[in-house]
Amino acid sequence: MESSKDKDLKKTVREKYAEISRQSKQENESSCCGAGGCCTVDYAVFAEDYSKMDGYNPDADLGLGCGLPTEFAQIKKGDTVVDLGSGAGNDCFIARELTGPNGRIIGIDMTPEMIKKAILNADKLGFSNVQFRRGEIEKIPMAANQADIVVSNCVFNLVPDKRKAFEETYRILKPGGHFSISDVVVKGILPEKLRHDAEMYAGCVAGAIDLNEYLEKIRDAGFESVTLQKERPIALPEEILDRYLDPQEKEAFLVGSTGIFSVTVYAEKPGCCQDTGCC
């Protein structure tokens, strides 16, 4: 059963991303810390440049990602691709370029405002094989064994129950399917003030867990061939550290062993095995 703390965290994230959905990428980047002013992490700190990728649509790019999962996802013509935490549709539209008109793209997001924006963007592009559904990653609104590939971009760190999220990802993948997920993780232990602040959770930091724990949760869900496809260090801006840490805490954080990283992780669901009944 979902705890009151988890419900509150989801409410914080939903409200923050609803606010972001009403702004452009430029507006989000020009404000000190994303939507709403200096209240959380500047999303541009994490974002990577999508603009040179085939299928890129600037209306769908709100600068919220922390990697380029579609670049590593090995998407082929005709694939069914599910994007978990699809936002305004950025990764969905790039995936559609790779699958072509015979593929199927499904975006899942828990924020109604993001779903609405994504549908408008898809309508403008005239894509009949791209759809968006409202839902949470811990309970994906899809039947089992539907997706060839799952992608996600800086979203699993926002999910309180990551174990359940990876189990649901496993469930919707076809036997032999795989995922490529970009996310924020840590190495070491974040200061308490960063870990326990709800706004920092919405900003992708407080919800991040240790890389080894992250990879272990993936394996525990049943995935195989777990591979780190990309790793990039993230430096939090001075104004963020000054907001949460006193001078002594800040110095200890900067010279310590704790690091925040953007990673892209690949993993496979085992294929169909008639002799073991895994199908």
Domain ranges (residues) in the chain: 4-268
**Single-letter amino acid code for the residue at 265:** V
Are 189 and 253 spatial neighbours (Cβ–Cβ below 8 Å)?
A: no
Confidence (pLDDT) at 52: 81
Over residues 220-230, the pLDDT tens digits come to 999 999 999 99
Are 94 and 103 spatial neighbours (Cβ–Cβ below 8 Å)?
A: no
Residues in contact with 242: Cβ distance below 8 Å, sequence separation at least 6, in sequence order: 250
DSSP letter for each residue of 79-95: -EEEEET-TTSHHHHHH
Over residues 259-272, the pLDDT tens digits come to 888 999 999 999 97
Nearest residue to 84 via CA among 62, 69, 99, 97: 69
Are 57 and 125 spatial neighbours (Cβ–Cβ below 8 Å)?
A: yes
Question: What is the number of other CB atoms lying within 10 angstroms of the CB of residue 190?
Answer: 19
Q: What is the rounded CA–CA span in Å between residue 253 and residue 248?
A: 9
Higher-scoring residue by pLDDT: 248, 146: 146
Q: What is the mean pLDDT of residues 9-27?
A: 68
Checking if the pLDDT of 45 tops 60, the result is no
Burial of 89 (0-12, 13-18, 19+ CB in 10 A): buried
Confidence (pLDDT) at 36: 38
Checking if the pLDDT of 90 tops 80, the result is yes
DSSP letter for each residue of 35-61: TTSTTS--GGGT----TTSTT--GGG-
Over residues 223-249, the pLDDT tens digits come to 999 999 999 988 877 887 888 889 988
Confidence (pLDDT) at 84: 98
Task: Name which CATH class applies to 4-268.
Answer: alpha beta
Confidence (pLDDT) at 41: 46
Confidence (pLDDT) at 278: 54
Q: What is the mean pLDDT of residues 105-115?
A: 95
